[in-house]
Structure formats: C-alpha cells, structure tokens
C-alpha cells in the first residue's frame, strides 16, 4: 500500500507475474513469426511484424479488460489483478512499436513528414468504408500512453483518486477506438469471416463479463429498507464471521460492518485506492485489508495506519434485539467511532 | 456463509494458498495455450501475401532508351526477339515513395545506362532508379513508337501505386495500404488501375490522361476504393496504358 513516492516496489510476486506475462507474449509473438512463413511462404517480414505486434496489443487489451470483472465474479482471479499495471505498460509498448512500424512502412520516405502524412493522406471521415482507420489507432494510442505514463501510484496520489479513475476509464474509449481501427482497417483488407468473427466474439466476451459482474453487484446492492429513524438493519450479530464483514447498501453507499476481537465497526466498503471491494476484505493484523492490492485501514476510524493518509467514512452502529443496525449517514472520513461490543463475545465484554 | 473456508490472499504475500495457486496455475496455462493457438490462427486467417518482390539492395546496371511518355520508362531490346516481343518496357520510379529523380528533359529519347533495382510481379517489372547517364549508341526507332490502341473500355478496379503493387509493399493495395499509396502517387509514382481479367488474373494498366499527361494529383481521392472508369486502352509492347479522364472516375 504505497501512497508515498517510492519508486516501483518489487517483490517476488511481481517478478513471477511479469515472467508469466512475458512468457505468454513471447509464445504469441515468436509463434506468429515462426508459423506465418510456414502458412504462407510469401510473407512480408515488416508487415508481419506490424500485424504481430498490433494484434498482440489488441489481444492483451482483452485480457486487461477482463480481469476486473472476472475478479468480481470469482475472487480466485485476484492474483491476476494485483499487478495489472505492468500489463498496461507492456501493452502500451507493443502498441507503440506497432504504430512506429506502420508509420515508417506506410508513411515514411515520401514527400511529407510521416506523422503529417498519417493525418492528411486520407481525410474521408464521412465514409465508413473509406474511413481513416489509422486515426482511430492514433487516438487509442494517445490514451494508452497517457494511462501508462500515469499508472504509478505517484500519479494516483497527485491527480487525486477521482481524476485518476476517470482517466483510467479511458481504457474503454481506447478499446472502442481499436475495434473501429481493426474493423475499418485490417478487416476490410483481410475479409476472412473467421477474423471478423474473432473481433466480434472478443467484443461480446468483454461486454458479457462486464454485464455478469455488474448484475452480481447490483443483486448485492439491493437497498436495505430503512427504519423510521433512518437507520438500516444489517443482519443478526451471529451472521458476521470473525474478521470479516457483511455489506449493506444504504444511503447510496456500500457500507461494510466488520467483526473483530468481539467488536463491530462500520466503514465505507469502497477502497480509496482503486475502488476495490473492501467488504470482501479481511481483518489482518487488526486492520481492514483490501482484497485487491492490500491497502489497510483501522476499523474503528477508517484511517490508514501511519504513514499512509487514506481515510474512509465511518458509520454509527447499534444493537437492537440481537440484530445489527447502521446509521447510513456517514461521519467525515477518518472520524473515530466507538466500536460496538458483541454481547457474549470475549473481547466484547472486555470492551 | 460463515462456514465457507474461503482463502484470503493479497498479491504481495509471498505464498499463495494452495487452492488459489491451483486455480491461477490453470488460468496461466489456459492463457499460454490461447497465445499459441492465436499465434497460428491470426496469420492463418489473413489474406495470402502476393508473390511479388523488390530487390532494392541489389542495384544493377541496365541499358536502353529512356522514354518520358506516357510515364517515364526504359525500353530494353530483347536479344533475338522481333515484333511484339522485341522490347521490354520497365516503368521507372524513384527510391522511397517518389517518381524517378532524372533529368528527363536532357535524357528523354536517348540511350542511357541506368542504375537501379528490380521490382517485379507476374512478369511485370519496374525499376527503382538510382541514377542514369547518357550513352553513345544508335537507337532502334521502334523503341520510340507510340503503341497500339486496343479500343475503348469501361473498366472496374482499384487505383494502386505501381511501385508498391508490383512488389515494394505486400500488401500493396486495398484499405490497409491506402495511406501509403496516396503518399507514393503524390510523390510521383505512376498510378495504375488494377483490374481482374475474365480468367481472374490481375491486370495492371498505367493510368494517364487522354493526352498522355500524368493524373497523379487528380486520382488521390480515389486510391484504394473500388472504382469504374472509361477510357482508351493502349498496348506499348509489354505495358498496358489506360488513357482516361479522371473526371470520369466513379466509386462503385
Ligand atoms: C498511430 C497509431 C496507429 C497506426 C498508424 C496504426 C496503423 C495500422 C495499420 C496501417 C494497420 C494495417 C496493417 C496491415 O495489415 O498492413 C494496422 C492494423 C492493426 N492495428 Fe494499428 N495502428 C495504430 C495504433 C494501433 C494501436 C494502439 C493498436 C492496439 C493497441 C493497434 C492494433 C492494430 C491491430 C490489432 C491491427 C490488425 C493487425 C492484423 O491485421 O492482424 N493499432 N494498424
Ligand atoms: S488496495 Fe487497490 S483497490 Fe483496494
């Protein structure tokens, strides 16, 4: 959990992660370069490389976009999410190389600067069939570069989380632009239906996992009915396992009620790092721990332990006839709230 | 739900719990397998590359008569051949995306020794010129003959740049290549109409105005689109030329 401006922190898990990423990419790129000349002895090496790197970047983008929703659907995908940032940076590198090859191959050695040529040789924006598909690629590339350049937590802290998150939602715009780039470019020259089917299936997959993940979240987000005083019933005390939380959706917010050491505390269930699902986290070493990247918060005040500065809104709890109730009106982030003792629990009596 | 023995693992912890490790291992294997299958499938589904070549590193000398019209080309006598096969005509282009850098005024109609490299596809040949110098040699007057009209036709095809299509680029035509073809034609490479004949073979007709002048700037907007155009087809030994007014170009 780094919000300070440390350089990239390495650990064994990140090295394994990157090794797997490079192995998969190597399999694709080396395989592509080895197999294509066997399938077609007339291959043009430069063009082949352009296609290999462009398609590698596009395919990797499908993986990047799938991980978030897959993690929401099945938590066991989480180790893939942990270091997703490196995937984005590698993707950006592949895309830059592809664009550089395309620019050199198709636009250099002429009577204009290649970049100028890229934007003036085909201005047929009014036509679908003739559309300058390269512009869509260039737009996507600009987004990918911006995202890769700001992917470090340094920027997350400095741009503030909401700006950073909005910026990184740009990946969906990049994906849409790239579907256009491929559909109006490569697919118009390479008319094999299998290629078109591949692009369509890819888009349906991305849409599908997002819809399934969103559906599950919405199902979990059915607003709890409030009592006359505005408080909301969460569950029976016994339903919250030790060191874990129950989540209610109330007042337009997800609230996580954690049980630990015979006590209960309520916090916003949205991690300050990247909106991770804190309600699926655990108490580790006495701290609420986010399942995504492991940011931690004190359960009784919502503040991250020193030297970290993230703070979550906290909520008041009450016990009414053995059931837990929460007041959905948040306290300002970081406000200490006296934990609610669980009757009969050892720590509860002590508190 | 309290009995659920679910593992809790955050990425930075050095040891992954066993069930998570098994699951992630399967996902990784799946991804590697997908990478291998796609490395085969993606190139397999692309349109085959043309059998065409550019030997741009292999610069040689050629001797012949330099003719400026309808496009700059070199007329080379074929030893031992007469009549329709007496000459080969090599269209001249420059290095890069340009027309030939030659002093045409000084050299046109003269015998020259020319340095360049070959670009060829389906028996049609282009020369990418590095330089040329005049030679002292008698000229066969037939080399300068104007060609034979084959009549007027309405043709459907695609405007390509002759240099890329005949071998410099593969693919050297269609949508992905459009930007390049525009750059080449704007740079002085002769445009050509690529048509498919009744037997499905590619025919390449050099495209010029009815008076034989260049139309490069006037066809740029039509490059790589399916078009139809009417004009006179002229055979110049092994070259086909389409003399047509670009104003008659129609997208189909
Ligand atoms: C300035 C930016 C870009 C330019 C000028 C550009 C140019 C091109 C060109 C000319 C082609 C056709 C290549 C051919 O088949 O001959 C192409 C194909 C492609 N590009 Fe780009 N591109 C750019 C950015 C991107 C980016 C950012 C991505 C993905 C992250 C991308 C992915 C692809 C893919 C997947 C193909 C199809 C490859 C295939 O046929 O297998 N491009 N691009
Ligand atoms: S730690 Fe990254 S989202 Fe919570």
pLDDT digits (tens, 9 = 90+) for A163-215: 888 888 899 999 999 999 999 999 999 999 999 999 999 999 999 999 999 99
DSSP annotation of B199 = T
Pairwise CA distance, residues B177 & A63, whole Å: 29
Min distance B16 CA to chain A CA atoms (Å): 9
Which of ligand 2's atoms lies nearest the C-alpha of A295? 1
- Residue to substitute from A64, A130, A185, A342, interface B, most B β-carbons within 10 A: A130
Burial class (CB in 10 A: 0-12, 13-18, 19+), B66: buried
Min distance B53 CA to chain A CA atoms (Å): 9
> Judged by CB atoms within 8 Å, which residues 96-155 of A form the interface with B?
105-112, 117-118, 121-122, 124, 129-130, 132-134
Name the pairing type of β-strands B202-208 and B191-196: antiparallel
Asked whether the beta carbons of residue A27 and residue B36 sit closer than 8 angstroms, the reply is yes
DSSP annotation of A165 = H
Q: What is the pLDDT of residue A350?
A: 43
User: Residue A96 C-alpha to ligand 1 middle, in angstroms?
Assistant: 10
Q: What is the pLDDT of residue A290?
A: 93
* Residue A94 contacts residue A24 (beta carbons within 8 Å): no
Phi, psi of A308 (to 5 degrees): -80, 160
Q: What is the pLDDT of residue B4?
A: 42
Q: What is the pLDDT of residue A103?
A: 96
For chain A, the first-to-last Cα distance in angstroms comes to 30
Asked whether the beta carbons of residue A192 and residue B47 sit closer than 8 angstroms, the reply is yes
* Residue A340 contacts residue A267 (beta carbons within 8 Å): no
Most confident among A270-274, A307-311, B183-187 (mean pLDDT): B183-187
Q: What is the pLDDT of residue A9?
A: 63
Q: What is the pLDDT of residue A220?
A: 76
Pairwise CA distance, residues A255 & A324, whole Å: 13
Smallest Cβ distance to B45: which of A44, A118, A192? A192
pLDDT > 70: what percent of chain A? Answer: 96
Reported ipTM: 0.91
Pairwise CA distance, residues B191 & B183, whole Å: 11
Q: Is the pLDDT of residue A8 over 60?
A: no
DSSP annotation of A110 = S
Q: Which residue's CA is the closest to the ligand 2 atom numbered 1?
A: A293
Q: Is the pLDDT of residue B136 over 90?
A: no
- Cis bond before residue B171 (omega within 30° of 0): yes
HSE (side-chain half, CA atoms, 13 Å) at A224: 23
Phi-psi region of A53 (alpha: psi -120 to 50; beta: other; left: phi over 0): alpha
* Residue A176 contacts residue A137 (beta carbons within 8 Å): no
Kindly report the pTM of this predicted structure. 0.90
Pairwise CA distance, residues B81 & B236, whole Å: 16
Min distance A188 CA to chain B CA atoms (Å): 6
Q: Is the pLDDT of residue B5 over 80?
A: no
Q: Is the pLDDT of residue A10 over 80?
A: no
Mean pLDDT rounded to a whole number for chain A: 90
Q: What is the pLDDT of residue B6?
A: 65
Q: Is the pLDDT of residue A351 over 70?
A: no
**CA-wise closest residue to A58 among A180, A197, A214:** A180
**CA-wise closest residue to A194 among B33, B41, B37, B171:** B41
Q: What is the pLDDT of residue B119?
A: 95
Q: In B, which residues are within 8 Å of A17 by CB distance?
A: 11
pLDDT higher for A158 or A215? A215
User: Probe ligand 2: pick from A81, A284, A290, A310, max atoms within 8 Å of CB?
Assistant: A290
Pairwise CA distance, residues A329 & B244, whole Å: 79
Pairwise CA distance, residues B241 & B209, whole Å: 10
Q: Is the CB of A106 inside a 6 Å radius of any atom of ligand 1?
A: yes
Pairwise CA distance, residues A215 & A219, whole Å: 6
Pick from A84-93, A145-154, A201-210: least confident = A145-154
* Residue A131 contacts residue A184 (beta carbons within 8 Å): yes
Min distance B215 CA to chain A CA atoms (Å): 17
Pairwise CA distance, residues A38 & A46, whole Å: 16
Q: In A, which residues are within 8 Å of B23 by CB distance?
A: 76
Mean pLDDT rounded to a whole number for chain B: 91
Q: Is the pLDDT of residue A43 over 90?
A: yes
User: Residue A61 C-alpha to ligand 1 middle, in angstroms?
Assistant: 13
> Judged by CB atoms within 8 Å, which residues 45-74 of B form the interface with A?
45-52
Q: Is the CB of A290 inside a 6 Å radius of any atom of ligand 2?
A: yes
Q: In A, which residues are within 8 Å of B166 by CB distance?
A: none
CATH number 3.40.50.300 is the correct assignment for the domain at A232-341: no
Pairwise CA distance, residues A277 & A271, whole Å: 6
Nearest ligand to the C-alpha atom of residue A2: 2
> Judged by CB atoms within 8 Å, which residues 75-134 of B form the interface with A?
95-98
Q: How confident is the model at residue A261 (pLDDT cuts 50, 70, 90)?
A: very high
Asked whether the beta carbons of residue B98 and residue A111 sit closer than 8 angstroms, the reply is yes
CB-based contact (8 Å) between B178 and chain A? yes
Pairwise CA distance, residues B205 & B153, whole Å: 12
Asked whether the beta carbons of residue B176 and residue A289 sit closer than 8 angstroms, the reply is no
User: What is the separation of C-alpha A18 from the centre of its chain, rounded to a whole number of angstroms?
Assistant: 17
Q: What is the pLDDT of residue B200?
A: 81
- Cis bond before residue B209 (omega within 30° of 0): no
Q: In B, which residues are within 8 Å of A82 by CB distance?
A: 10-12
**CA-wise closest residue to B139 among B117, B108, B109, B100:** B109
* Residue B110 contacts residue B56 (beta carbons within 8 Å): no
Phi, psi of B196 (to 5 degrees): -100, 125
Q: What is the pLDDT of residue B195?
A: 95
Q: How confident is the model at residue A3 (pLDDT cuts 50, 70, 90)?
A: very low
Q: In B, which residues are within 8 Å of A185 by CB distance?
A: 175-176
Domains B52-144 and B148-251 share a fold: yes
* Residue B194 contacts residue B145 (beta carbons within 8 Å): no
Q: In B, which residues are within 8 Å of A293 by CB distance?
A: 10-12
Pairwise CA distance, residues A32 & A52, whole Å: 6
So where are chain B's domains?
52-144, 148-251
DSSP annotation of B170 = S
pLDDT in tens, B57-116: 999 999 999 999 899 999 998 888 877 788 899 999 999 999 999 998 899 999 999 999
- Cis bond before residue A205 (omega within 30° of 0): no
pLDDT higher for A344 or B195? B195
The CATH number of B148-251 is 2.40.50
Asked whether the beta carbons of residue A289 and residue B45 sit closer than 8 angstroms, the reply is no
Domain B52-144 fold: OB fold (Dihydrolipoamide Acetyltransferase, E2P) (2.40.50)
- Its sign, for the CA torsion A96, A101, A106, A108, is positive
CB-based contact (8 Å) between A55 and chain B? yes
Q: What is the pLDDT of residue A264?
A: 96
* Residue B107 contacts residue B114 (beta carbons within 8 Å): no
**CA-wise closest residue to A300 among A337, A271, A326:** A337
Pairwise CA distance, residues A282 & A280, whole Å: 7
Q: How confident is the model at residue B33 (pLDDT cuts 50, 70, 90)?
A: very high
């Amino acid at each position: 959990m780094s919000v300070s401006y440390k350089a990239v922190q390495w650990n064994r898990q990140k090295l394994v992660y990157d090794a797997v990423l490079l192995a998969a990419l190597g399999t694709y790129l080396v395989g592509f370069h080895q197999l294509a000349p066997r399938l077609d002895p007339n291959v043009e090496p430069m063009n082949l490389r352009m296609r290999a790197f462009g398609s590698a970047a596009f395919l990797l983008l499908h993986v990047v976009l799938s991980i978030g929703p897959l993690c929401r659907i099945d938590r066991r995908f989480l180790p893939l999410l942990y270091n997703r940032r490196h995937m984005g940076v590698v993707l950006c590198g592949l895309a830059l190389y592809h664009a550089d090859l395309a620019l050199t191959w198709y636009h250099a050695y002429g009577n204009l600067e290649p970049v100028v040529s890229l934007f003036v040789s085909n201005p047929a924006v009014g036509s679908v069939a003739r559309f300058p598909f390269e512009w869509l690629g260039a737009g996507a590339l600009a987004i990918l570069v911006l995202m890769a350049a700001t992917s470090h937590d340094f920027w997350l802290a400095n741009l503030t989380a909401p700006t950073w998150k909005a910026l990184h939602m740009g990946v969906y715009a990049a994906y849409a632009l790239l579907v256009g780039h491929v559909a109006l470019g490569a697919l118009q020259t390479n008319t094999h239906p299998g290629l078109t089917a591949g692009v369509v299936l890819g888009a349906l997959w991305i849409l599908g996992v997002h819809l399934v993940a969103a559906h599950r979240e919405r199902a979990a987000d059915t607003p709890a009915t409030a009592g006359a005083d505005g408080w909301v019933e969460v569950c029976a005390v016994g339903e919250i396992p030790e060191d874990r939380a129950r989540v209610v959706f109330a007042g337009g917010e997800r609230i996580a009620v954690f049980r630990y050491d015979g006590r209960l505390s309520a916090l916003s269930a949205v991690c300050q790092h990247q909106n991770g699902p804190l309600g699926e986290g655990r108490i580790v070493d006495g701290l609420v721990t986010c399942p995504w990247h492991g940011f931690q918060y004190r359960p009784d005040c919502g503040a991250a332990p020193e030297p970290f500065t993230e703070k979550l809104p906290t909520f008041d709890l009450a016990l009414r006839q053995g059931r837990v109730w929460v007041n959905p009106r948040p306290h300002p982030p970081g406000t200490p709230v006296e934990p609610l003792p669980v009757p009969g629990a050892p720590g509860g009596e002590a508190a | 739900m309290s009995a659920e023995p679910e593992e809790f693992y955050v990425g930075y912890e050095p040891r992954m719990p066993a069930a998570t490790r098994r699951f992630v291992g399967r996902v990784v294997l799946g991804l590697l397998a997908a990478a291998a299958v796609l490395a085969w499938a993606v190139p397999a589904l692309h349109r085959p590359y043309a059998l065409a070549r550019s030997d741009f590193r292999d610069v040689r000398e050629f001797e012949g008569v330099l003719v400026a019209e309808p496009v700059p080309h070199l007329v080379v006598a074929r030893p031992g051949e007469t009549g329709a096969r007496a000459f080969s005509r090599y269209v001249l282009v420059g290095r890069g995306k340009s027309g030939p850098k030659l002093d045409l005024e000084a050299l046109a109609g003269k015998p020259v020794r020319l340095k360049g490299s070959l670009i060829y596809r389906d028996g049609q040949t282009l020369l990418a010129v590095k330089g040329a110098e005049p030679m002292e040699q008698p000229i066969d007057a037939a080399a300068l003959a104007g060609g034979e009209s084959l009549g007027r036709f309405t043709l459907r095809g695609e405007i390509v740049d002759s240099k890329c299509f005949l071998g410099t680029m593969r693919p050297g035509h269609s949508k992905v290549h459009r930007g390049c073809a525009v750059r080449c034609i704007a740079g002085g490479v002769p445009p050509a109409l690529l048509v498919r004949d009744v037997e499905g073979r590619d025919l390449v007709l050099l495209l010029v105005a009815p008076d034989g002048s260049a139309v490069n700037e006037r066809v740029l907007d039509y490059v790589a689109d399916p078009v139809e155009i009417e004009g006179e087809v002229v055979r110049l030994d092994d070259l086909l030329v389409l003399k047509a007014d670009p104003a008659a170009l129609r997208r189909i």
